Amino acid sequence: MTIERKIREHLRKEAETLDCPQAITNRIEQSYTQYLQRQRSGKTMKKRFIAGIVATAILIPTAAFAAPTLIEMLTRTPMTAEQVKTDEIGKATLEKLYRAFPETKKFEIIDASTVQGVQTSIILQEKGGTGKKIALHTNSVTGEIEHVIQENWEPKEKPLTALTEQEIKSKADHLIHGLYGSIEAYEFAMEPMENPDQKTLMLNYTQKGSTAPFYQVLVQDHSISLSLIGSETSSSDDIVEGFFTTDGKPDYFADAFLNDDKLFSLLNMGPIELKQELAKGKSVVEIAASKNVSKQQVVDVIAQSQVDLQIQSEANGETPANNLSNDQMLKAIEPKVLQVIEYKSVTPSKK
């Protein structure tokens, strides 16, 4: 057994023994699942391929998520600073960062990697190994920066969580505005998270008329973690939001996969009926079985739809080509499809 294999197996066993407080798990899961809220809607979103689920450990770096993060990192392909600067996605990501925060042009690239042509990650830090640091996680298919972690941008003696709400919002606003543009059209809400290990504040930026956050920011002692989890809304009658619920509230993680006409045809049911069945605590796999449809049939339909969207998007020049074959793309997306179709709604707990 290779040393890499030994490390992987050891970390996997250690991860299984870790117990994260349920309150934190629920919060992170909600944030994590909302990432997949992106739907095939609007002139642009209809062509987009949902690249995959990003490890949620980057959102709240507590000890409970250390092992899963390391396991995920072992599947990455490292990139040198020079490779980042010549890579199409890497170069575009750096250009966005430099435009938003010119001072980062003097930062060093201390780490970079890519995962199966799905995500490109770059970490930069002020020269000298101490001081300001920023990590960017970019969707390698759409070219969007979907996660940003800003660390040590404030004096060490004054943690971010000690600031006033208005000061915290101002710093989050500055980060969002720099990378994504004006946020004047967004409503704002802040709330503390139940994190016994470290004080954490959640900031949600929601488009007017929407119930799901478009931007979500988590603030801890010396870090700001920003996630782009929203998308354009759709007026189409055949698009359903919140197929699943957690504690009685919409949980958007599966929408991008389940809003699929071919899936509805396979199951011989409409999106509203599917949502109603899921609300009873059933999984898509169980619903399919009741209609004599196998799990693999469901996987094949959804995975191929996602791949078709990607291919069409590349053909239209809306996303860069990833140079993967149809089979490779299917293989990459299938584990994520399985997670969606085996998931069950979490019903409100009874007191």
Residue 37: pLDDT band (50, 70, 90) is very low
Which pTM value belongs to this model?
0.52
Q: In angstroms, what is the C-alpha Rg of the chain?
A: 20
Contact status, residue 117 vs residue 324, Cβ threshold 8 Å: yes
Q: What angle do CA 302, 305, 306 make, to 5 degrees?
A: 90
pLDDT for res 53? 31
Residue 125: pLDDT band (50, 70, 90) is very high
Mean pLDDT of all residues belonging to the chain: 75
Mean pLDDT of 168-181: 92
Of residues 85, 205, 222, the one with CA closest to residue 161 = 222
End-to-end Cα separation, the chain, in angstroms:
49
pLDDT for res 112? 93
Phi, psi of 206 (to 5 degrees): -120, 135
pLDDT for res 263? 92
pLDDT for res 306? 85
Residue 62: pLDDT band (50, 70, 90) is very low
Q: 153-172 pLDDT, tens per residue? A: 988 888 898 899 999 999 99
User: Which residues have CB under 8 Å from 45's CB, separation 6+?
Assistant: 38, 39, 231, 232, 234
pLDDT for res 148? 93
* Count of other CB atoms within 10 angstroms of residue 126: 17
The residue type of 228 is L
The residue type of 43 is K
pLDDT for res 341? 92
Mean pLDDT of 115-142: 83
Tell me the HSE value of 300 on the side-chain side, using a 13 A CA sphere: 7
Q: Which residues pair with 51 in a beta bridge?
A: none
Q: 192-208 pLDDT, tens per residue? A: 876 667 788 989 898 87
Residue 259: pLDDT band (50, 70, 90) is confident
Which range among 134-148, 230-244, 290-304 shows the weakest confidence by mean pLDDT? Answer: 230-244
Phi, psi of 40 (to 5 degrees): -80, 75
pLDDT of 238 > 80? The answer is no
CA pair distance 241, 255, nearest whole angstrom: 6
Which range among 18-22, 141-145, 251-255, 322-326 shows the weakest confidence by mean pLDDT? Answer: 18-22
pLDDT of 268 > 50? The answer is yes
Mean pLDDT of 33-61: 33
The strand pair at 77-78 and 223-228 is best described as unpaired
